Structure 1
Amino acid sequence: MLVLPDREAAEEAAAEAADRFGLGTAPEVVREALAGEDDAEDAQWLVVLEASATGPDPAALHALAAEYDGWLESE
């Protein structure tokens, strides 16, 4: 899962992930409010990638997230 600061960055990272890693379709982008926050501005945007043995290398995912001012989060 990539965690990104805003929707635009998340959508761009999802499209780039599909292209860069040959995913076929862009991963799902979801909004997640931070725990205890009522303000709509206090949210993270997630790019959800399915884990698989043949999936993208974690280092490559980390680099992609960093390009969009985000990070890779393991579940």
Structure 2
Amino acid sequence: MSDVRHVLVLPDRDAAEEAAEALAERFGVREEPLIVRDALAGEDDAEDVQWLVVLRDEEGRLGAEELGEFAAEWEGWREEP
């Protein structure tokens, strides 16, 4: 069993929450993804944040390209490790 993690970067909290819910429907993700607020370096404005959706893929069945396209539906992207 490996400790593969994927990080999706999304523009706001609503998008992150919607994407986290949709992961179960679209990809059959069983474990609830972790949603994390990530302030941009050097930014003072509370609005200048990104939201991360972190999910484990121990079976290695989720493709990077497919997750990138999924995140793009919410104007986000998959962060490369």
TM over 0.5: yes
Partner of 2:35: 29
Deviation at 1:51, TM superposition (A): 4.2
Deviation at 1:68, TM superposition (A): 0.5
Task: Tell which deviates more after alignment, 13-22 or 61-70.
Answer: 13-22
2:26 is the counterpart of 1:43:
no
Correspondence for 1:56 among 38, 58, 62: 62
Task: Tell which deviates more after alignment, 32-41 or 46-55.
Answer: 46-55
Gaps of 5+ in 1: none
Tell whether the 8 Å contact from 1:18 to 1:27 is kept in structure 2 after alignment.
no
Tell whether the 8 Å contact from 2:36 to 2:51 is kept in structure 1 after alignment.
yes
Q: Secondary structure at the match of 1:49?
A: strand
2:25 is the counterpart of 1:19:
yes
Gaps of 5+ in 2: 1-6
Partner of 2:74: 68
What amino acid is the match of 1:20?
Answer: R
State the superposition RMSD in angstroms.
Answer: 1.3
Tell me which protein shows more strand as a share of its residues: 2
**TM-score of the aligned structures, taking structure 1 as reference length:** 0.89
